[in-house]
A and B are shown apart, each in its own frame.
Chain A
Amino acid sequence: MAAAAAATAAAAGGARAAGDPLITEIQDWNSALGEGVDAYPYGKPSEFEKGVVRKSVPWLTADPISSINFTPLHELDGIITPNGLCFERHHGGIAKIPRESHRLMIHGLVEKPLVFTMADLMRFPRENKVYFLECAANSGMEWRGSQLNGCQFTHGMIHCVMYTGVPLKHILAAAGVKTNAKWLLAEGADASAMTRSIPMEKALDDCLVAFAMNGEALRPEQGYPLRLCVPGWEGNMWVKWLRRLELGDEPWHHREETSKYTDLLPNGKARRFTWGMDVKSVITNPSPQAPIKHGKGPLVLTGLAWSGNGTIKRVDVSIDGGRNWNTARIDGPSLSMALHRFYYEFDWDGSELFLQSRAIDEAGYVQPTKEALRAVRGANSIYHNNGIQTWHVGPDGVIENVEVT
């Protein structure tokens, strides 16, 4: 603890002192030997990064089994989410399935109903794709106003990894799709036996049956050994522990597409099958969990933008609550239906700021304000809140989640 305190003091200005002991005195790590190559067969993050973890909000749900946690977006950079930090959403807890015990069945309106083992699936041609997966309920707690203080909580039901898997169309072709098959039911093997109806056009387009994320097997909490990827569409449809594909001529109207994942509007009617995740962005740093501690002067503002419609063409940043906008710099790969990383560097004069980001996608969709969304949808649609987020920066560098006119 004393060492940590000294390090903090040094970071706060000690480095500029003439006699900075971190330089003038020999440190332990500069003298004693470190651990050997056999210490960590599977490595972990530095112990000094132990605050970079998924977090949950206990009051959101009745219990932690059918619940959600949040990716620590404010601590991350780039566009790839580390596997161990990808947010989790389960409806019946984490199923633990040995890969040898897993089966994938395809039946219904097919020429030849089939069962595959994981070994069978490893013999199909594969693809590698980077996609974001965003929960339909991401930012859902913010519909009525500012509730949670931190982008981890307001925007952290999202992750973006490279998936490796078999294009779903190959598996469909193996079974032979009958011409009257219009819908696909995907089902999980966990205790919630999650099901969603997916139109055949999407199933035959870009869906992926994935067995790996970021180069290694799926994590148990992400569906090991097999999950469905439905690029650009709401996370609920990305069925984990995928065990069954049934083809039919009508959608099934199951619980997760009637009671849940339907969007109630002010007229008392509800939208259903709101699959696509529209253009969205958030400033991840500075943000409430990442206040400005370095005082006035050069500041790196950074954030994430994404769209289920394709790539992000532009991200604008405002520091005065939307009065004026400056175009940010997108850095790194710009991949369709993946996270994009943006930066906006400026000199902070120490005055109060209202930070906002506004993304525009290749379809020409401009991320709307929450006000504009509520004007159409009211405050009870729960899902698909892609409204512009505002962070208030005080002169002390403390940051708060707010809404502004």
Chain B
Amino acid sequence: MWRFPKVRTRRLKEIACAFAVAGAFGLSGSIAGHAGERLGLGVPATPEQIAGWDIDVRPDGVGLPPGKGTATAGEAIFLDHCAACHGDFAEGRDKWPVLAGGLGSLKADRPEKTIGSYWPAASTVFDYIKRAMPFGNAQSLSDDDVYALTAFLLNMNEVIKDPDFELNQKNFSTIVMPNEGGFYDDDRETAERQFWNAKACMKDCKTDVKVTATAAVLDVTPDSKTGPHVD
């Protein structure tokens, strides 16, 4: 589970209180007389309305719609709708995102973070393609298209070996991503405890100050060639 840093922990008791009150009575304190539920604002969301917007998918498969697709089918869709930016083999063109490759590069000086090398869950591939891709024509693909594209990308990343393997609503959650175990919850409060050090040095804190890096040498700031005054 995630943790809250020190001050946030202190506030958690109040929050827990607010939570209990909100659950039991709607609202607390000075706004009790205006409890949201008593205000009666809004109208019930119908199942049709919820179905229209609720397209999200979780790693445990909750939210996956009926449908199916293979990498072979996905390749044709990818060439039509995706390859112009992401390359024929999901390798990325120009500055557009690289979707395949980079396996084993996460400790490298220049890691290549792709679906195969970095993403912890296949559900995220399905969810993101369905909600936001193709860039400029989002939510234009059918569920079968999204299953097929997901299978293709997993095939390009060697997660699905057989291009004719049918990915579907039932078997989706059996897919294990190479970097599934590569993430842990924010631990700054303990791992970086040394930064909570109110006794900061004020005088004679070090002897030497040497320049180790300069931005002007790199010279990539917009307008930098016109001098220090950006106009």
Across-interface contacts of A91 in B (CB, < 8 A): 132
Is A193 within 8 A of B132, CB to CB? yes
Complex CA gap A366/B27 in Å reads 37
Q: A289-B228, A291-B228 are known contacts. Are A278 and B203 too (CB-CB below 8 A)?
A: no
Across-interface contacts of B186 in A (CB, < 8 A): 271-276
Instruction: Say which one of B64-72, B152-160, B214-222 lies at the interface with A.
Output: B214-222
Determine if A171 is an interface residue (Cβ-Cβ < 8 Å): yes
Is A200 within 8 A of B19, CB to CB? yes
Is B184 within 8 A of A272, CB to CB? yes
Task: Tell which of A58, A61, A174 has the most Cβ of chain B within 10 Å.
Answer: A174
Q: Which of A61-111 contact B (CB under 8 A)?
A: 61-63, 65-66, 91-92, 105-107
Across-interface contacts of B19 in A (CB, < 8 A): 177, 200-201, 204
B213 to chain A, nearest CB (A): 4
Task: Tell which of B110, B139, B197 has the most Cβ of chain A within 10 Å.
Answer: B197
Q: A246-B54, A270-B183 are known contacts. Are A174 and B37 too (CB-CB below 8 A)?
A: yes
Complex CA gap A150/B34 in Å reads 48
Q: Which of A125-179 contact B (CB under 8 A)?
A: 125, 145-150, 152-153, 169-177, 179
Is B128 within 8 A of A254, CB to CB? yes
Across-interface contacts of A200 in B (CB, < 8 A): 19
Is A269 within 8 A of B6, CB to CB? no
Type the 1/0 row for B1-35, where 1 means its CB is closer than 8 Å to any CB of A.
01011111001101110110011001100010011
Determine if B161 is an interface residue (Cβ-Cβ < 8 Å): no
Complex CA gap A123/B11 in Å reads 29
Determine if A321 is an interface residue (Cβ-Cβ < 8 Å): yes
Is B138 within 8 A of A191, CB to CB? yes
For residue B219, which residue of chain A has the nearest CB? A149
Determine if B170 is an interface residue (Cβ-Cβ < 8 Å): no
For residue A194, which residue of chain B has the nearest CB? B132
Instruction: Say which one of A13-21, A27-35, A259-267, A294-302 lies at the interface with B.
Output: A259-267
A218 to chain B, nearest CB (A): 20
Complex CA gap A66/B134 in Å reads 13
Q: A169-B18, A400-B216 are known contacts. Are A244 and B27 too (CB-CB below 8 A)?
A: no
B124 to chain A, nearest CB (A): 5
Determine if B204 is an interface residue (Cβ-Cβ < 8 Å): yes
Is A266 within 8 A of B18, CB to CB? no
Complex CA gap A120/B138 in Å reads 29
Determine if B208 is an interface residue (Cβ-Cβ < 8 Å): yes
Complex CA gap A258/B203 in Å reads 43
Is B183 within 8 A of A272, CB to CB? yes
Is B135 within 8 A of A66, CB to CB? yes
Instruction: Say which one of A40-48, A222-230, A343-351, A356-364 lies at the interface with B.
Output: A356-364
Across-interface contacts of B37 in A (CB, < 8 A): 112, 173-176
Across-interface contacts of B8 in A (CB, < 8 A): 276, 309
Determine if A114 is an interface residue (Cβ-Cβ < 8 Å): yes
For residue B41, which residue of chain A has the nearest CB? A120
Is B185 within 8 A of A272, CB to CB? yes
Q: A105-B50, A114-B44, A120-B41 are known contacts. Are A258 and B202 too (CB-CB below 8 A)?
A: no
Determine if A51 is an interface residue (Cβ-Cβ < 8 Å): yes
Is A398 within 8 A of B42, CB to CB? no
B42 to chain A, nearest CB (A): 4
Across-interface contacts of A316 in B (CB, < 8 A): 200, 202
Given A113-B44, A201-B4, 6 more contacts at CB 8 Å?
A112-B37, A204-B22, A254-B127, A309-B5, A380-B110, A400-B216
Can you give 22 contacting A-B residue pairs, CB < 8 Å? A51-B231, A113-B44, A148-B220, A149-B215, A170-B27, A204-B15, A205-B11, A250-B58, A252-B58, A259-B119, A259-B128, A288-B221, A323-B205, A323-B206, A324-B202, A363-B196, A366-B197, A392-B214, A398-B228, A401-B214, A401-B216, A404-B211
Binding site for A on B (CB under 8 A): 2, 4-8, 11-12, 14-16, 18-19, 22-23, 26-27, 31, 34-37, 39, 41-45, 49-50, 53-60, 62, 85, 94-97, 106-107, 110-111, 113, 115, 118-121, 123-124, 127-128, 131-132, 135-136, 138-139, 182-188, 191-192, 194-198, 200-216, 218, 220-222, 224, 228-231
The 4 A-B residue pairs whose C-beta atoms are closest, nearest first, are A174-B36, A321-B209, A145-B213, A62-B95
